[in-house]
Copies of this chain bind each other. A is one copy, B any other.
Amino acid sequence: MADNPAEPSKSALKKAEKQAKQAAEKAAKAAKQAALPLVGGKKADDIIGMTVSKADNFSAWYQEVVLKAEMVEYYNEISGFFILRPASMFVWNTIRKWFQEQIETLDVEEASFPSLLSSKSLEKEKEHVEGFAPELAWVTKAGDKDLENPVALRPTSEAIMYPYYSKWIRSHRDLPLRLNQWNSVVRWESKQTTPFLRAREFLWQEGHTAHLTEELAGEEVLQILEFYAGVYEQLLAVPVVRGRKTEKEKFAGGYYTTTVEGYIPSNGRGVQGGTSHCLGQNFSKMYDVKVEDPTPKEGEKAGHIHVWQNSWGLSTRVIGVMVMIHGDDKGLVLPPRVSKLQVIMVPVGINKSTSKEDKEKHYDEMQTFKNTLKKVGVRADYDTRDGYTPAWKFNDWELKGVPLRLEYGPKDAAKSVVSFARRDTGEKGTIEIASLTTEIPALLEKIQSDMYNKAEASFRSHRINITNWDEVVPALDARNVVLIPHCLAEKCEDKIKDLTTGNQEEAAGPADAKAPSMGMKSLCIPFEQPEGIEKGTTKCLNPECGALAEKWCMFGRSY
């Protein structure tokens, strides 16, 4: 369940992010105040939109958009914690429902283990625990009494669950055991936190399974990874690269880690999307999870087999990746499949001179459209707020990322059409009312696939195979991630990071102008390998390495 730590933020970066957050909060406050006069029934045409441009200051833009689109709220009481508002929870629940259906096809069952673990159970698995120890939150008191044995909030549940796997698995008939839980975990990060991307508490699912053989475990690892890819590609319209983590980046205490890796075009950083780990027999040996060998060699007494375990997790981080990739200077852009509201209808051409009767009739028609669309599975609504101009409403719904806007006025009615505007491209047109039930679902699907294709083209064109070391840093500076022939050794990775770390601390300017100073780390060894590595001939690209290359490895600056 590793969220591999990204680069420590530079102090200047921290400062810039803080400023961005303050700017965003100030803007939001201004927005609220600007909205207040409306209570008295006055008309307000203030456009309360984004104030920061995505290109100019990406991290400030991000913080502003998640706040203003009402995805999150900062939890001021305890730093590093965030409130997920309904717009985010709808996305998460859509993912949850979809993923749940997938894992049920594998007969994964749901369980709920306690959120606390004892210090005693932590002592079992040193390598795994060491990785989390600095981030453990400790409960030491209940009421006004000190606890005899302090307990920690779970950062992940291996140490909580596996003692019971040992109890429950007594025979090969109990295998596979596949349990998943949907919960929240707490990791008291000392690094700069960012909504969705890095928080001290986040929602996720964690699956923990046990199998009789390495092969069976390995099969599941890849099935789950493919589901994770599906969450990104099919729901969030985000392309990912499937691959395996290097030894350096794999889950602490595991056997191997597979991953889906995303890419943020605005700053050229890679972002870990979700990881599916084979733990091998490491944990089953620690926790003594074993069964009698069901197929002993002929004539021999059956020995014991320690089970092969997997664990796999996907967190609310996915929402942040989606926001970063699709959003624009007007605000959030949501893929239709995960948007609570897919279509917002805005009445136009209705003004003071419109009679009450005409207005009611017009709204009734829009209600009919809403009902009609609901029948074909489209989540639509119409905006009848008084005292706001259509332009104000357009901006408001664009800020919130609703994929499709329909405008409907007396002129449209006369022609039996509605006018539409796509959130992703701005493209406009008209649709005949008689065709709403076929055209709207088709258009939403078109938006979904166009959003994916655009992001996919961007990732593909910024994933560059490099065989000349001198091209690496310029490629990173041009916001690419790179595939290089690599020896896969841990030490070499450390060296590569050093070699690619710049010294631009002094440079002024906003946070993202500074990102290029960050060294690159390995993102994954893609399953899909380019040609060109000749075993025993091709060398590792690191000029100070000298070893032979094993694989093309994807490196990049990253979250």
Q: What residues make up the interface of A, taking CB atoms closer than 8 Å to B?
A: 32, 35-36, 38-40, 73, 75-78, 81-86, 88-90, 92-93, 109-118, 120-121, 133-144, 150-151, 153, 160, 163-164, 167-168, 170-173, 179, 183-184, 186, 188, 190, 201, 203, 291-292, 294, 302, 385
Known: A92-B112, A140-B141. 16 other contacts (CB 8 A): A36-B170, A39-B171, A73-B168, A75-B114, A77-B117, A78-B118, A81-B116, A82-B114, A83-B164, A84-B113, A86-B110, A86-B179, A89-B110, A116-B201, A153-B153, A183-B184
B111 pairs with A201, CB closer than 8 A: no
List, in ascending order, chain B residues with CB within 8 A of A116's CB. 78, 81, 186, 201
A513 to chain B, nearest CB (A): 32
Expressed in whole angstroms, the minimum distance between the Cβ of A282 and any Cβ of chain B is 21
| Contact in complex: B138, A134 (CB < 8 Å) | no
A86 CA to B92 CA, complexed, in Å? 22
Chain B residues near A163: list those with CB within 8 A. 76-77
A35 contacts which chain B residues (CB < 8 A)? 170-171
- Contact A81–B292 (Cβ < 8 Å): no
- Of all chain B residues, which has the CB nearest A182? B182
Most chain B Cβ neighbours within 10 Å, of A36, A110, A167: A110
Please name all residues of chain B whose beta carbon is closer than 8 Å to the beta carbon of A40 when the two chains form the complex. 292, 302
In the bound complex, do residue A77 and residue B109 qualify as a contact, i.e. CB atoms below 8 Å apart?
no
In the assembled complex, how far is the CB of residue A322 from the closest CB belonging to chain B, in whole angstroms? Answer: 17
Dominant secondary structure at the A interface: mixed
Q: A143-B136, A164-B73, A173-B385 are contacts. A114–B81 as well, Cβ < 8 Å?
A: yes
A90 touches B118 (CB 8 A): no
Residues of B within 8 A of A88 (CB): 112
Sample (21) of A-B pairs whose CB atoms are under 8 Å apart: A36-B170, A36-B171, A39-B172, A39-B294, A77-B118, A78-B117, A81-B114, A83-B111, A86-B109, A86-B179, A89-B109, A89-B110, A115-B201, A134-B143, A135-B142, A137-B141, A138-B140, A140-B140, A141-B150, A142-B188, A143-B190
Task: For residue A142, give the distance in angstroms from its CB to the closest CB of chain B.
Answer: 4
- Asked if A136 contacts B140 (CB within 8 A), the reply is no
Contact B110 A77 (CB under 8 A): no
Residues of B with C-beta under 8 A to A84: 111-113
How far is B188's CA from A402's CA once the two chains are assembled, in angstroms? 44
Question: A113 contacts which chain B residues (CB < 8 A)?
Answer: 75, 83-84
Q: Do A83 and B141 have beta carbons less than 8 Å apart? A: no
What residue in chain B is nearest A159 (Cβ atoms)? Answer: B77
B114 with A86: CB separation less than 8 A: no
Contacts of A109 in B (CB 8 A): 86, 89
Residue of B nearest to A150 (CB): B141
Q: Which residues of B contact A136 (CB under 8 A)?
A: 142-143
Chain B: which residue is nearest A29 at the CB level? B167
The CA-CA distance from A183 to B83 in the complex, in Å, is 13
Cα(A151)–Cα(B186), bound, Å: 13
Residue contact B171 to A121, C-beta cutoff 8 Å = no
* A73, A116, A117, A133 — most chain B CB neighbours (10 Å): A116
Complex CA–CA separation, A109 to B92 (angstroms): 13
Query: Which chain B positions have C-beta within 8 A of A172?
Result: 39
**B83 close to A184 (CB less than 8 A):** no
User: In the complex, which of the residues B32, B139, B179 contacts A138, with contact meaning CB atoms closer than 8 Å?
Assistant: B139
Q: Which B residues are CB-close (under 8 A) to A36?
A: 170-171
User: How far, in whole Å, are A76 and B114 apart by their CA atoms in the complex?
Assistant: 11
Chain B positions within 8 Å of A167 at CB level: 73
CB distance from A292 to the nearest CB of B (A): 5
